């Protein structure tokens, strides 16, 4: 089932998510809904808090549109190693019509559980590394705009406020 994606400034997006203690059929149903929602949006990642569920679950698929899907499901994901620097443009399904360059690590190692409860390790670079960092931030109540300088955040807020009166693209 495609769920509604919460958008800025919904206070639910700022809440920390609880670890999943037991993977159940309800967890699997959540992942199914998250996956359908992410593909429908369309996006490359989605965290459970973005649909109002405060559990540490993310889904990611950075495959190109003309390639087979490569869905990653990570329960209780944790970055255990990070290195290098990346400064790439990011957007977010919860901050529609806005993107900005964000400083992230270029490479990360993430440990998580899969839906069978087995520990898995992902070594990621490029877009996948950025997606992991972005989605894990959501689990801690952090949006990509929180990584912007105070000046850029202020500009974003002004443009966002203006867009509420005139719902054109925020990039103007």
Q: Which residues are catalytic?
A: 135
User: In whole angstroms, what is the distance from residue 126 CA to residue 129 CA?
Assistant: 5
At 48, list the tokens: 């459970």
CA distance 44 to 64: 10
Phi, psi torsion values for 105, nearest 5 degrees: -80, 145
* CA quadruple 5, 6, 12, 16: dihedral sign: positive
H or E element at residue 76: strand 72-83
């Amino acid at each position: 089932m495609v769920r509604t994606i919460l958008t800025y400034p919904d206070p639910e997006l700022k809440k920390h998510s609880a670890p999943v203690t037991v993977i159940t059929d309800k967890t699997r149903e959540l992942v199914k809904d998250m996956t359908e929602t992410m593909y429908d949006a369309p996006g490359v990642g989605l965290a459970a808090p973005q649909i109002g569920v405060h559990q540490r679950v993310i889904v990611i698929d950075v495959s190109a549109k003309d390639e087979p899907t490569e869905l990653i499901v990570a329960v209780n994901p944790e970055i255990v190693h990070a290195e290098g620097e990346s400064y790439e443009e990011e957007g977010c399904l919860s901050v529609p019509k806005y993107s900005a360059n964000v400083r992230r690590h270029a490479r990360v190692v993430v440990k998580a559980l899969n839906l069978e409860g087995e520990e898995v390790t992902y070594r990621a670079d490029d877009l996948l590394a950025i997606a992991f960092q972005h989605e894990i931030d959501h689990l801690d109540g952090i949006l990509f705009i929180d990584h912007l300088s105070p000046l850029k955040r202020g500009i974003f807020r002004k443009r966002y406020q203006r867009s509420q009166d005139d719902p054109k693209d925020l990039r103007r």
